[in-house]
Amino acid sequence: MLRCRFTLAFSALLALAGCGGGSDEHSEPPPPELVYPDTTAGSDSDTYFGRVVADPYRWLEDIRGQQTDHWVEAQNRFTADYITALPDYKAIEKRIAPWFAPPPDVALMRSLNIDQPEDVQRVKGVQGVDGHYYYQLQVRRERHHQFIPGRDARFVSADNIIYVASGPEAVDQGKVLINADDFRIDPDDDIQLINHQVSSDGRYLVYAMQRNFADLVELHVVSLAQPTQLILRIPHVFSPQFTLYGDGVVYASPKGTTDPHVSAHTFQTLYYQPFSGGERQAWFQGTQFDQIGSALHQDQLYINIVRDMRSSQLRLDPAHPEQGAHAFLGTPEDQESFNFAGPSGEDPAKMLVITTQGAASNRLIEVDPADPSPESWREILPRSAPGETVYVNEIVACGSDYYAEHLDLGSSRLFHYSAAGVDEIPLPGLGAVSSMYCADLDGQAILNYWFSTLAQPSTGFSYNPATKVATRGATRRYEGYDPNLYEVRRLVVTSADGAQVPVYIAHKQGLQPSGDAPSLIYVYGGFGVALTPGFQEKAIPLLESGGIYVVAQVRGGNELGSDWHEAGRLLNKQNTYDDVVAVAEHLIGQGLTSPGKLALQGESNGGLTTAAVALQRPDLFSVVFPTVGVLDLVRYDKFTSGFGWHADYGVTTRQDEFENLMKFSPLHNVKPLAYPPTYVFTGKSDGRVMPAHSYKYAATLQNTATGTSPYLLYAFPKDGHSLDRNWQTVLTYLWTAFFHHTGSRFAGLAN
């Protein structure tokens, strides 16, 4: 669904019951009441089942409007002035800066195991046609990114260039074919080259570009005879995973899009667009809330329909689209999902399908298109022992070998499945596998993957199934950071109803409970997304200062399978927030930290989790950082892809779900009470969660909440849901506010 970064803040002497103050050496007089920029309150409201819901700051939904822009500029100035005046700002800025040194020329880098300022590079999308090889260079990012359909969010384009070379061995000498940066309209535009394909006859190149962080992409079609001349530009395409068929391209697009950062991506249609530029043909029309994708297999088009987070497959003959699409695997009304994963490596006429049907999480099956009935399926994985529950988080097929990341109380285990049996690939500790992909080594398909822990940055590995040996590659390094000084532990915390919640913590070796360790809990808790305990660079300033970094795998995620997700969605959503409260109380009860030293942060859905918990239990935290959060649970589905979140949050058209939403929607639960310092971060160009969520929430806090805590907003210009463009500033703001409001000392390299 969604995702992002964070910031923390809480007044050192905030008068909240149960919240501790700072140390004596950092004590200071109570701050004066903040005078925020003016916010006009309107009279907008809606009525649901006889209940009037006021929406006084709805005008901030006009994110392109001049009035909104001036308001955001004033908020940004106010927040920047506040944070940059805090004591540790310069020191933290200096500590973080070396991590963001410009990378060397990516064209000179090889695709694997390069130790460099940026993460390991890889060659992506190599496609050979008529003796020419077309490819991109991608760079791997260290930190968590919210899942984006159709792409590996850990890898992004290194330089926005499509290269052409004479062969796969000549990728270091490739020539520039397309430079997507040439398509900037504004010099400050952000352009991301995501995907490309060459037609089978070698005549056309199609590539997908993301402009300014919109979830909708645009397709460009060029003739390889004249690649600098654009033949077709197709805007507002729902997924970058388009399909080439014959002399055209198949893609999905929503109806009536006027602004991809605002318009709801509903009423999607699957189109076929001839390369000749002729009129596009509508091949399939979805219902209002269907999300549509497609894939070609053995000259048949398989249409993926996602509705309420469940996916089913239809089959359409592209040679006769007038005959319509027919059911193939599942239906939109089923509670199972079926996702096409490519042709079988053992029999290319058959299909690999990842399904939740009959699995605690996911399983991989082989389906014969001639007989897709369940009786004819062949299960490939998991092959579990009697009584064993296997939670499969990710699956990769490499020819006739298959690899699966299993989750064991939320920590990764890696398995190799082959005709010879099942082998576990040892991992060095409690942590997370990420970015698995296949590569070729002298004709042998190998698995490349990365492993990290909360304390240890990612190390690349290559596993050779022939030798059953995993070869260690490069490790990402951060100047001055020594991971050997820290340890990682797993806790299991009992929630309010008895549920056992896995929690991972990192801190200095030999830390003894003293109740005063500055600590930050990182949360997500939604959409069946597993928040695995992998390394995040943002934790370094906290660890170096003697603090505790905490990842709480609360209900709503997939860490313990589909039941764990089910227990934290819709009418069960309060369980997510109860779990966070239980984790906080456990850390305090064990003497690891105290309310005056404890912060909470989450991004995207985690931003919702952070805000909802802080409003319900303000006594537990010294500062909170709801980042790019979903904060208006009444109107969330009216913008961009928000309708795709119905299955987790609910809808306002059903009374029980509406009443439930009103219990935890942050925008509608701010009362005239004192809350912890709250730093609301968003991107002005966030195409996933419209920034108006953050605007309206910050305005409501500033004009309703009481006390002396700062309730601040910063909307990063020309930045999107992951705040990548301004990540350095985000970290600087975050830790500056954190150390100030927890009354803690930023130690940095001095420690």
Q: 108-132: b or e for each residue (b if 16 or more CB lie within 10 Å)?
A: ebebbbbebebbbbbbbbbeebeee
Read off the pTM.
0.92
Burial of 453 (0-12, 13-18, 19+ CB in 10 A): buried
Question: What is the per-residue pLDDT across 24-41, written as a single tens digit (0 to 9) for each?
Answer: 344 455 556 799 999 999
Distance CA 623, CA 631 (A): 17
Tell me which residue has tokens 């008068």: 15
Which residues, 6 or more positions from 564, have their beta carbon under 8 angstroms from its beta carbon? 555, 556, 557, 558
pLDDT in tens, 394-427: 999 998 999 999 999 999 999 999 999 999 999 9
Q: What is the DSSP string of 73-137?
A: HHHHHHHHHHHHTSTTHHHHHHHHGGGGPPP--GGG--SS---SSS--EEEEEEEEETTEEEEEE
Per the structure block, which two tokens stand in for 297?
């297999």
Bridge partner residues of 223 (DSSP)? 204, 226
Strands 444-452 and 459-464: antiparallel
pLDDT, tens only, 591-634: 999 999 999 999 999 999 999 999 999 999 999 999 999 999 99
Q: How far is 256 from 254, CA to CA, in rounded Å?
A: 7
Question: Which tokens belong to 616?
Answer: 């319900």
Range 146-170 average pLDDT:
66
The helix or strand, by DSSP H or E, that contains position 469, with its residue range, turns out to be strand 469-475
Is the per-residue pLDDT at 166 higher than 90? no
- Looking at the DSSP bridge assignments, the partners of residue 408 are 411
Residue 115 has a pLDDT of 39
* 106 pLDDT tier (thresholds 50, 70, 90): very low
pLDDT, tens digit (0-9, with 9 covering 90-100), for 497-551: 999 999 999 999 999 999 999 999 999 999 999 999 999 999 999 999 999 999 9
Q: For residue 209, what are its two tokens?
A: 């570009």
DSSP state of 34: P
Q: Which two tokens stand for residue 273?
A: 């667009």
- Going from the C-alpha of 85 to that of each of 186, 715, 727, 733, the distances in angstroms are 33, 19, 20, 11
How far apart (Å, rounded) are the C-alpha atoms in residues 277 and 249?
11
Q: What is the mean predicted confidence (pLDDT) over 479-493? A: 97
Which of the 8 DSSP states describes residue 196? E
What pLDDT shows up at residue 173?
79
Give SS3 for 747.
coil
Structure tokens at 155: 């890898």
Instruction: Please say whether the dihedral angle defined by the alpha carbons of residues 680, 685, 689 and 695, taken in this order, is positive or negative.
Output: positive
